[in-house]
Structure 1
Amino acid sequence: MTKDLRETEERFRRIAENASDLIALLDPQGRRVYVNPAYDGLFGDRKAMIGSVSFDDVHPEDRERVQQSFFDTVHDGEGRRTEFRFLLPNGEERHIESQASAVFDTYGKVALVVRVSRDVTERRKTYEALQARDLQLQEAQAVANLGIWERDVQKDVSTWSDQLYKIFGVTRDSFNPGREAFLALVHREDRERVATSAKSLLDGGPALFDNQFRIVRPDGAVRTVYTRVRFDRDDSGRAVRILGVCQDVTDRKLAEEQARATEERFRTMVENVRDYAIYMIDPTGYITSWNLGAERIKGYHADEIIGRHYSLFFLSEHTERGDPGLQLEFAAIQGRYESEGWSVRKDGSRFWAHVIVTRLLDESGKLRGFSRITHDITERRRAEEDLHSYADRLRVTSRRLVEVQEAERRLLAGELHDRVGQNLTALGLNLSIVASGLPAEDYPELAARLEESSLLVQGTVDAMRNVMAELRPHALDDYGLPAALRTLAASFSRRTGIQVAFQGDAPVTSLPKPVDLAMFRIAQEALNNVAKHSNADHVEIAVKRTNGLATLSVRDNGVGFDPRRIGASDSGAGWGLLIMRERAEAVGADFSLRAEPDAGVQVLVEYHVGAGG
């Protein structure tokens, strides 16, 4: 028995090793136990595939279906045929037909699954191409509207196809397609020409003949038809049979006439456009046409510029580095080239131009030249530069305002500490001295008032310290941003009862001081908005630095809002968001807001370390 099994295995291995089909043995979990050499042609090293999961190479869109088919075979032992796609290591897709068969152990359980697969990609491509060609042929027959006719000259009998009857607007039952009946349908202005050419060709002439003429249908409709005729002649040169095809080209002829009219209108329009320089150049760059706009913008008349190379519009240094040729080369390959840059007028002056170069092809697809459109945008560029300059000045002013505001905060905090704080401390000491020297049992009411006054002074001192902390957070100066935010979170939680979770890492403290301060103030404003508007019970504050990007995030689980409607219902909230955004932009950081109704709000500040601040 063992010998027979070994011989069977050896025969299987010899067959598999020499087979062109893909043969694999899979365990019940779908792992490959064996693959034959045919796998090398698709996957390279087949030995590396031993032990791999066979489904991993299946296209993701087919994987679930292939897995289900495989495990069904493992479950019931029945063979199954599947079609799927392999996704090769190089990204190529291959279409596969596969037959899975179960191999049972001595207990009747499925021990292995033999999968024999065949690459049918080329066959599938051929089949799809044949289908496409069949479809194209059917569409051509339907769209071409071709009629076919034949005439036996000796018997003087003509036959028409159904489509030809439709083209001439007659029916097979009511119309006899003889020569005289046919000529009666030809337009009277074309009839003599058609009759004369037909008679002369019968007597002798070329084997093939093309003609175009008009017909008048019985309903009065005038149509233009194109016909191609072949004459079969006997040994003496006499025509014995005529074969022809006839096509209604009325719509095409009308379209051609409309196209010619449109082209003429377009040419007239282009020639008279004055705000754009529009001209044609040949494949080598020599100018072949010139409109009024080009004359006005460039300064050249048509008779002095046509025939010259368009490189004379470039700065000399740009011509030397090959820009004119590169533009045409790019447009020839990509179909279009667009750029902005300096252009030179006839008088040597320069202007900033927006240029579009478009490739022009003939009917055979061969390059026949380029169109070039130039627009003088010097004023627009100057306005953009002024706008950028204004934006830069605005950012500097905004940053200066923040600096002044912080200076005022520091001054006010110092005044509170040096004057009000010291006076309150002295007042507290005096109250303590008076209370200690006054017998409480003799003056109980007065002693109670003194104690109440001491508590009031202490509360005022605590409130003042909180105000000072908000005006100038000493933790930020002494310990850095994470420590200051942690202190802010704890204070906010005590004051409002809203739980605040904080995550922060020490490396953020290496940010510039203005950035630290801006992030702290933005976090302050974000928490104020949470307390006023969110109805949240949980807030997350996170500050981190990863790959040169420092990030501050303040997220709540409140009612959220629609950012598009922020100004309509609460101008205070809109003002707070504006302040946060301006603080971020003043130090060169990016500010973003993510909010949706019933989904909370996240304030996000991102600062690229090294970007300046």
Structure 2
Amino acid sequence: MAIDGESTLGRMVQALGALAMVFLDPDGRIASWNHGAERIFGYTASEAIGQPVGMLFTPESHAAGLPARVLKDAAREGRTEKTGWRLAKHDRRVWTRAIMEAMRDEAGALTGYAYIVRELPRQADDTLGSDEQQFRLLVQGVRDYAIYLLDPEGHVASWNAGAERIKGYREDEVLGKHFGHFYADEDASMGRPARNLEIALKQGVYEGEGWRKRKDGSLFWAHVVIDRLTDADGKVVGFAKITRDVTERKRAEEELALAREALFQSQKSEAIGQLTGGVAHDFNNLLMAVMGNLELLRKWLPDAPRPQALLDNAVAGAQRGASLTQRMLAFARRQELHPRPVNVPLLVHGMADLLRRSLGPQIQIGTNFPLELPPVLIDPNQLELALLNLAVNGRDAMPHGGRLEIGARGERVAADHPTSLTPGEYVCLWVADEGHGMDEETIKRATEPFFTTKGVGKGTGLGLSMAFGLAEQSGGRLLLHSRVGKGTTVEIWLPVAPAASVAPEQEAPQVEAEPRASRPLTLLVVDDDELVLASAVAMAEDIGYVVHDAKSGEEALACLERHGEIGLVITDQAMPGMTGTRLATILRERKPGLPIVLASGYAQLPEGPVPGVVRLGKPFTKHELHRAIEEATAQVSLVDETG
């Protein structure tokens, strides 16, 4: 059945019973009332015309001032759209979606409002109608919505100003065309236009969203409603179609979703970092007690091979635990680093033998470095460990062998660089393998501590997380590029070392003699962990010092008052009540010349450093404790000599 001409449009309008289409005067009083409004609200035209539109609002809406606010918002913004309860005759409530559109003349003066209401969910179709001229004025006046009629086969039979504005076609260009012409090519090829029309035919209404096409070929995201139209005999005479361009809303929703995902990932990384750092701190305290007591126990064990072998095995296990905590602290960016200018190619070439032994003969190791590459500012020992971890990951991704390449290049980072790094000069160091690669979900989790795809017993899941934390703590960034079946490239972006800095020569490691106190000295050791406290006291006494102990900052201050002979304080940082930095600050005020050693497994202290305080990383050995004590006393002696 075709729809054409004014008379046919009039019949179509009379059949449109799904919508209440009402004109209001500038004061918000009802000026026209169609049969759709009578069907939804139950009032006849004689009962409704002249009444304020507020008669359709519930008492709760009146109490909230909603009728006046809707009129005011529509006059100010051009239109409003609301979903909610409205009041029909005999206090019957109906759930509706309503559009209030301000109507203005050519001079811009407010001439009234168009009020379009649809009941949700849609009830049975009645044969309803309205005045054709008022209906045409109403439809043509709405510019934010494309409102047009389709014949039963889906061909366009009318076209309003909103349809022309949104879709770009004039009325004479689209009349008679099938509405599927406006669908995106992919949706049209999948038969969505016919399927949506079938839904409207069977259910009375179709509502959905999707991509639609303008005259110029550009796409927009549309919210669409298709209502079935029937005549007085219940025969389907066509469809009423309302389309709204909601591209900006969709874009805002997508941007919000991306922002939420970024925030979620940031919060997740921060939470994991906090948890990991806390676990590493507590683990460090346990290792402190284990390693310290094993070291002291060695002196008392017989020289028989069996006891010494068992002791060596226990020490090796404790050292592996210490290495594990260092990787955890690296991920949490709380590891104590000793950065200095490092020549990356020289460092990698110096690792050649270690890499060959670690990776095995099936892995071919290649390098790719430019002739000139500026040094980077990094802790060389931690960078070697990170590269070794990445190389081992690459080997594990190539179980049947393959090529592993380590290379670097200079990069200048501008303000809009995708790495989000601070603008400046960087070196991009990479490790690339030809392995099985990673999918998107694996890449998202790859830097999480303890996440591994290697299976039980084949990896700790800390290699990438350690490298990630090292890069971040060093002012750089770690980036992952991987495709399933195509291999993985891990990039570590590191800042170039300042030109004025000079890397000191590395000294060959020397075997240290048994530490002994160089002078009589009374120490105060402060730690809230009894195991750590006992271990530290035992090590200090074994070196030759007289030792007092305290389990809190408050107890330490009281002990100093009782024992005036105390010449040096060793304090833990993370203690309940008074932290180590707070205790050190108070001691600096009361006894400016007192040497202080601050023991902590964290690189950065939340309260900031205290001048003149020597740092001692946890867990520490007897030799490291002795060196920290000597350094602290030497600093005080130097101040006394020069002061």
Structure-1-length-normalised TM-score: 0.29
Q: Which structure has greater helix proportion?
A: 1
Larger Rg: 1
Structure-2-length-normalised TM-score: 0.28
Which structure carries more relative contact order (alpha carbon 8 Å, separation 6+)? Answer: 2
